[in-house]
Amino acid sequence: MSTHSQKPTVIVTRKLPDVIETRMCELFDTRLNLDDEPMNQAALVAAVKSADVLVPTVTDRIDAAILEQAGENLKLIANFGNGVDNIDVNTANDRGITVTNTPGVLTEDTADMTMALILAVPRRLMEGQKAIQNGDWKGWSPTWMLGHRISGKRLGIIGMGRIGQAVARRAKAFGMQIHYHNRRRVANQIEAELEATYWSSLDQMLARMDVISIHCPHTPATYHLLSARRLKLMRSDAYLVNTARGEVIDETALTNMLKSNLLAGAGLDVFEHEPAVNPKLANMDNVVLMPHMGSATLEGRADMGEKVIVNIRACFDGHRPPDRVLPSML
């Protein structure tokens, strides 16, 4: 550890909220990224060589090649974000480096964004806004810009963790019927509260739903979970919403299906090759696209930073960090 008054050296890869950066500077020997330009591989290697703690974000790839260059001081990678698909957790674990994340604090914000998309796509919100911006609105008419009501429709949730359950609670309040597919069935009382129907077969659920919403992490097991074959199981009048990770959907197959009217529409906050978005997708009327804003609230980002600080302090006070991620959890 750095001798500088025995404070751990903490390197932060991106600009974080001022209140968090200030607190980190008070507590640790902190190096900030004031330019907010993503670090390249060389800069990340330099960081892991000299840091006691690296604080990366979900867009920094901390793979085996980078971890192999880590100095013996590096004890903790405190990810600023919930998903850790950007970090090779197995290699970190093998090298005695603890990995933490920031779960829980994004739940309500991501669920709000999901609900916004579930409403926006069937009710054609973006199309309506474009019509006004383009001067195409000629006044109210009984048959113009008709969408679909969501009350009474079936919502199929893929991944019934914290966020999936928060979406289910919102959707139930809007009168939707809740269905879900998960690796394991949730507790009876949660199922009862949400009046949720469990499907052990994802294929069976996909074929029956009006709206599908994705809330599973991106792992090798969930890469292209919604493959071309599975997308074809969905009804042509169904909608797909994704606020989880873009890699869970075969984006090319999805784009082709939307173009061919084999799906009614999609609401996407995440993309397979971020920040690149398939230009065909960007030009479709029946698609609402958001630039990975699911957790983007001032309150949420500040809460994420607080979690990072708690994990760093716990680690260097000799305690087990509360948000440790182990390979077995992935």
In this structure, are 283 and 315 located in the same domain?
no
In this structure, are 311 and 195 located in the same domain?
no
The whole domain housing 9 covers 4-104+297-329
In this structure, are 196 and 320 located in the same domain?
no
pLDDT of residue 275: 93
In this structure, are 307 and 213 located in the same domain?
no
In this structure, are 142 and 233 located in the same domain?
yes
In this structure, are 10 and 150 located in the same domain?
no
Mean pLDDT score, 284-310 = 96
pLDDT-based confidence at 330, cuts 50/70/90? low
Task: Name the domain count of the chain.
Answer: 2
Phi, psi of 273 (to 5 degrees): -125, 50
Helices 107-120/125-133 angle, 10° precision: 70
**Closest to 212 measured CA to CA, from 242, 251, 187:** 242
**Percentage of residues in the chain with pLDDT exceeding 70?**
98
In this structure, are 57 and 83 located in the same domain?
yes
In this structure, are 267 and 316 located in the same domain?
no
Average pLDDT, the chain: 96
pLDDT digits (tens, 9 = 90+) for 55-92: 999 999 999 999 999 999 999 999 999 989 999 999 99
CATH of the domain at 309: 3.40.50.720
In this structure, are 201 and 249 located in the same domain?
yes
pLDDT of residue 123: 98
Mean pLDDT score, 210-231 = 96
Q: Is the dihedral of CA 208, 210, 215, 221 positive or negative?
A: positive
Q: How far apart are CA 186 and CA 307, in angstroms?
A: 26
In this structure, are 165 and 92 located in the same domain?
no
* Both tokens assigned to 80: 């600023």
pLDDT digits (tens, 9 = 90+) for 158-210: 999 999 999 999 999 999 999 999 999 999 999 999 999 999 999 999 999 99
pLDDT digits (tens, 9 = 90+) for 230-289: 999 999 999 999 999 999 999 999 999 999 999 999 999 999 999 999 999 999 999 999
Q: How far apart are CA 307 and CA 106, in angstroms?
A: 11
pLDDT of residue 329: 73
In this structure, are 88 and 196 located in the same domain?
no
* Both tokens assigned to 128: 């309506």
Give the count of beta carbons closer than 10 Å to the beta carbon of residue 82. Answer: 25
User: What is the reported pTM?
Assistant: 0.91
In this structure, are 36 and 72 located in the same domain?
yes
pLDDT of residue 2: 47
Catalytic residues, by residue number, are 245, 274, 292
pLDDT digits (tens, 9 = 90+) for 113-158: 999 999 999 999 999 999 999 999 999 999 999 999 999 999 999 9
